[in-house]
Amino acid sequence: MSNRRKPGARNVYRSEFLSSPAWHARRARWFRKQERLGRPLACTGCGVLATRDQLELHHLDYSGVRFAGGTWRAFERHVDLVPLHPYCHGLLHQIIEHDRVLAHHRGRRVASAIALNVLRNKLIRPQETA
Ligand SMILES: [Zn+2]
Ligand SMILES: [Zn+2]
């Protein structure tokens, strides 16, 4: 298993999925649900409030993603999608990819949680966490 973003057949499928209508619809549903739950939209990395157009969703788990009959289906759980600025999302993947243990020897969910902690410690100023 690899959590790396680029190489590997699995990730080719991921990039196809991320440009599919199923993912665009799933993404829209995620933001509608977040709004319905009354949760403020903010980047999980830096903690700054943002609009949906400013945020990407990181997958903690791809197990809800299916490809059947030539069509992508998106059944990710709401909590398995994490909103991040494109910049912060890129940093998150860099942290994972530059760490051999996180990239290759941890599940995606655990690797993401550890990398998110590193990212938040870097990006969120002390007075905002107090
Ligand atoms: Zn951010
Ligand atoms: Zn991601």
Q: Are 72 and 66 in contact (CB under 8 A)?
A: yes
Domain that holds residue 55: 9-129
pLDDT < 70 positions in the chain? 1-2, 6-10, 126-130
CB within 8 Å of 75: residues ≥ 6 apart: 64, 65, 66
Domain membership flag for residue 97: yes
Q: What pLDDT was estimated at residue 6?
A: 59
State the ligand closest to the CA atom of 90.
Answer: 2
- State the distance from the centre of ligand 1 to the C-alpha of 125, rounded, in angstroms: 12
Domains: count for the chain? 1
Domain membership flag for residue 38: yes
The tens digit of pLDDT for each residue in 5-25 reads: 755 666 777 889 999 999 999
Domain membership flag for residue 3: no
- State the distance from the centre of ligand 1 to the C-alpha of 7, rounded, in angstroms: 25
State the ligand closest to the CA atom of 43.
Answer: 1
